[in-house]
Chains A and B, each alone.
Chain A
Amino acid sequence: MNQKLETVIGLEVHLQFNTRSKIFCGCANDFGKDPNTLTCPVCLGLPGTLPVLNEEALYDAIKVALALNCQVNTFIKFDRKNYYYPDLPKGYQISQYDCPIAKDGHLLVPTGKETKRIRIHRAHLEEDAGKLIHDPNSKCTLADYNRTGTPLMEIVTEPDIRSPQEAYDYLRILKLTLQYLQVSDCDMEKGSLRCDANISVRPRGETKLGTKTEIKNMNSFKAVKAGLEYEQQRHTKMWQAGEKIVQETRLWNEDKGITLGMRSKEEAHDYRYFPEPDLVPCIVENKTIEDIRKTLPEPPLEKFNRLIKDHALTEYDAQIIVQDVALADFFEQCASRYDQTKKISNWIIGPLQQEMNSRKASFTGLQLEPENFVSLILQVEDGTISNLAGKDVLAMMLDTGKRPEEIIRDKGLAQVSDDDTLIKVIDEIISANADVISQIKEGKESAMGFLIGQAMRKTQGKANPKKVGELMKRRILHE
């Protein structure tokens, strides 16, 4: 069989909300603490305990639903998903089955040269389970219930994704969209964002879906892409060899770069869903939804397009700046004060980004006012300070919160730019370096650099190097 095959992918993302407390109890919603130090009778599922819904988790879920262009279900009900596993204290998970909070949405995904519309099938609210650590030495498993009861949103796409790269791009824009909402830090390493994938292949043109396999245990966006690439190949090979693909769940093995079928034969789960009797329904008013909608930030893709259109940024620059919504706002505030937007973005992407890297801080961790940043740029542009000095001033601004003018004055960083002073210095250098002058006049213009360097040394680096170069050249070559 040598038909052209098409890959069909659907993604299921679990997002942890960053509410202060858990979804059904008052334990702190925190990560990385000692085992079983963030638990209570409710999230331990001790006999007799009952859940009470955290309203912030509901609002966060509505925010996500709106950001994903979904229809928000105004009737909110919860259901029990019944199964047995040691990380599930009640023997059931409180989730949503037939009335998910969101459905029929979409996300615009920039992928390659195009922007693809990936439909969101549904998104619902549920509670997270605990963590199991398998100890092969003592042949036992250890259960930590700190994570039990963390609010989760499960976001499921339609099988609209057509390649592992598209899947990767979907995850990146999804993460950025969710980060803009500030409902989660979307960090796969911390587990606040998790992804499982479904993949199948079919002949191009066929509308029926092929047999799918599910891939779990991918712990980064790259792993999702790699796992899907591996499965895509596996499906393709089997299809071409006429072998039947078994519907199963496979685990991604990062070390070996392969997926493995799970050892225990996984029977289809019968979750015996039924409406959660311990939680009463919520009716969300349309006004509430509209109020929440008004608080939504401009989505990253729109901001990206607008930065290019309104501020003439390159795609490359805009792409970097939108990665952080606070940084993007900062850029726009600077742009409202100074129309040389390319220069602003250069300073952001260059020196400012370097400062953030070396301080291991995000933009919100810094103290920087737009007017001060713009002022700094202007003073470099008009020659008050050199470019190099400007970077130092930036660092000092971030350290002290002082204005650039103050720092330049206090540290005496102002360049010497006036012609008369510079010509005097230049003449001194010229007269001391007659042999170099002859070289230059004979055509070796590169030797000019040496003389400029000398002039800089003579002025303790304070001379405006550009000016020195101009005047030096004029003096030597044209006079």
Chain B
Amino acid sequence: MDLYKLTAHELLDLLKEKKTSADQIAQSYAQRIGKVDPQVKAYVRVRPRDDKAASGPFPLPIAIKDNICIRDNETTCCSKILAGFKPPYNATVIDRLSRAGVPVLGNTNMDEFAFGSSTENSCFGPSRNPWNKECVVGGSSGGSAAAVAADEAVWALGSDTGGSIRQPASFCGVVGVKPTYGRVSRYGLIAFASSLDQIGPITKDVTDAAILLGLIAGYDDRDSTSVDHPVPDYTQALGKDVKGLTVGVPKEFFIDGLDPEVKAAMDEALNVLKKKGAIVKNISLPHSDYAVATYYILATAEASSNLARYDGVRYGLRQIPAKANRTSIIDMFEETRRVGFGAEAKRRIMLGTYCLSAGYYDAYYLRAQKVRTLIKQDFEKAFKECDAVITPTSPTTAFKAGEKTSDPLAMYLSDVYTISMNMAGIPAISIPCGFSKAKLPIGLQIITKAFDEEMMFRIAFNYEQAAGWHKEKAPLT
């Protein structure tokens, strides 16, 4: 039996029946990584197996995105500027996983500091899509999505600021969840955009996502933006049907760039839900067209500030310029950041700095904050008339490596369907809903109102079980 092919809940059943052990599971995944990762390059750092690891009810090995701090474990956000940085503390989510007995397999590849939608901005080089190695894995949590898709982990954690969990999940044919803002502690998540970031699960199916979210969610007194809202047993939502539920489809999402195969897959998915008793309704999210612009002002502004601490003074890379005279501290800052940051990081820091700078704050940052309010209000209105909103996760399937790297704006526009949910602070899940003719996965996104992950899981599970796409495996040998 190839344990590495199984889901978390299947492994839990086997463990309960004593048909397998924590050791056997760990062994199976370690071997799988050894065999397959040279092709996929999902991992940037594989941890040695920890025989002294605390035991617990969930000995199901997990892959962790390289921006989530693990004590004394190199954590770099796939950036040169954090090379060698070993945090002296665990992120809260890591502490919770540790208490549950979940062993960490290693750190996965990502776009540097989460800046990107393809994982091509990693200082370690890109990962390869298990479905087609010439294609990108999506980003920024591309390594985590690829690891799960390639059965190199039972499950994974990623982070999502504008779609960075959902879009790679969609490109890799796995499940990805961005929880409600404040649902999961950000303590220990190396920040990109503080008011948008959330850590979330990437899994093989919806049931696993419900379990994993339950393990990491909950109030944390070390995160002032963490909400003290009780964590339900999300798996309880999975059995309920969708009869009479209303799902809204926003008319603004049918943009020019939407791949007809993606549209077709979504239409078919809606049919499946209708057959199961859901009501599909057209709705409007009138400010959708402004979402990408709003996001790229707000997120880059916050990022420019969050990345100011990388200056070579206390940790990470320090680069002194080769100069004849004495080096000043400013020279050290500027050279360290020149060498340490990649092109996309520099681009975003520069854009963000500009939007906050004197004379431009009102026109850019303040204005964007107000448009954010309008986007949030669009969803509040929508949820008055429907239980969930459904869209494709991405307008396309996984594009070819290198296809969008020369046009930053084109790369930004590929986030168009996922970006609004971070700005509204509401949860969303991406689940597989088919394949293109080229056998590349297509993702369906289900969005619900704040703290209504149960509705999100309920609809997602119903669809998943009816359609069966989650059973397909990437053709890796």
Contact = CB atoms under 8 A, between A and B. Distances in A.
B400 to A, nearest CB: 33
Contacts of A270: 357-358
Contacts of A52: 221-224
A48 B313 contact: no
Nearest to A87: B313
A274 interface: yes
A46 B311 CA distance: 12
Contact of B308 (A46, A49, A84, A277): A84
Contacts of A86: 311, 313, 329
Interface stretch (B125-133, B185-193, B413-421, B447-455): B185-193
Contacts of B310: 91
Contacts of A45: 309, 314
Interface string A110-123: 00000000000000
Contacts of A280: 224-225
Nearest to B88: A41
A53 interface: yes
Contacts of A41: 87-89
B85 interface: yes
B313 A143 contact: yes
B300 to A, nearest CB: 12
A461 interface: no
B365 A47 contact: no
Contact of A48 (B188, B221, B225, B315): B188
Contact of B311 (A84, A274, A279): A84
Contacts of B308: 82, 84, 90-92
Interface string A64-95: 00000000000000001010101001111000
Most A CB contacts (10 A, CB to CB) among B67, B85, B191 go to B191
A47 B305 contact: no
Contacts of A84: 308, 311, 330, 333
B222 A272 contact: no
A273 B366 CA distance: 11
B361 A272 contact: yes
Interface in A261-318: 270, 272-274, 277-280
B91 A278 contact: no
A51 interface: yes
A277 B85 contact: no
B314 A139 contact: no
B356 A272 contact: yes
A460 to B, nearest CB: 71
B194 A272 contact: no
Given A41-B88, A272-B356, A141 B224 contact: no
A152 interface: no
Contacts of B315: 46
Given A91-B309, A141-B329, A50 B357 contact: no
B85 A47 contact: yes
A90 B313 CA distance: 11
Contacts of B193: 277
Contacts of B223: 50, 52
A143 B329 CA distance: 13
Contacts of B68: 48
B83 to A, nearest CB: 13
Given A41-B88, A50-B222, A50-B224, A278 B187 contact: no
B384 interface: no
A48 B304 CA distance: 15
A321 B96 CA distance: 58
Interface in B162-196: 186-191, 193-195
Nearest to A90: B309
A91 B365 CA distance: 19
B309 A47 contact: yes
A139 B309 CA distance: 23
B107 interface: no
A173 interface: no
Contact of A278 (B69, B75, B225, B304): B225
A50 B304 CA distance: 17
Interface string B296-308: 0000011011011
A171 interface: no
B140 to A, nearest CB: 16
B67 to A, nearest CB: 8
Interface in B220-250: 221-225
Contact of B69 (A47, A51, A274): A47
A264 to B, nearest CB: 9
Contacts of B222: 50, 52
A344 interface: no
B216 to A, nearest CB: 15
Contacts of A62: none
B194 A277 contact: yes
A362 B191 CA distance: 48
Nearest to A51: B224
A44 interface: yes
Interface string A29-47: 0000000000001001111
B224 A82 contact: no
Contacts of A46: 87-89, 315
A226 B91 CA distance: 51
B329 A91 contact: no
Nearest to B356: A272
A153 B224 CA distance: 21
Contacts of B358: 270, 272
B153 interface: no
A369 B272 CA distance: 87
B118 interface: no
Contacts of B89: 41, 46, 49
A90 B308 CA distance: 7
Given A44-B314, A80-B305, A53 B224 contact: yes
Given A49-B89, A90-B309, A272-B358, 16 more contacts: A41-B88, A47-B69, A47-B75, A47-B191, A48-B188, A49-B188, A50-B186, A50-B187, A53-B224, A84-B311, A91-B310, A141-B329, A273-B361, A274-B301, A278-B194, A280-B225
Interface of B: 67-69, 75, 77, 82, 85, 87-89, 91, 186-191, 193-195, 221-225, 301-302, 304-305, 307-311, 313-315, 326, 329-330, 333, 353, 356-358, 361, 365
5 contacts: A47-B82, A48-B189, A50-B186, A91-B308, A277-B195
Interface of A: 41, 44-53, 80, 82, 84, 86, 89-92, 139, 141, 143, 270, 272-274, 277-280
Q: Which 3 A-B pairs have the closest CB atoms?
A: A91-B308, A277-B194, A272-B356
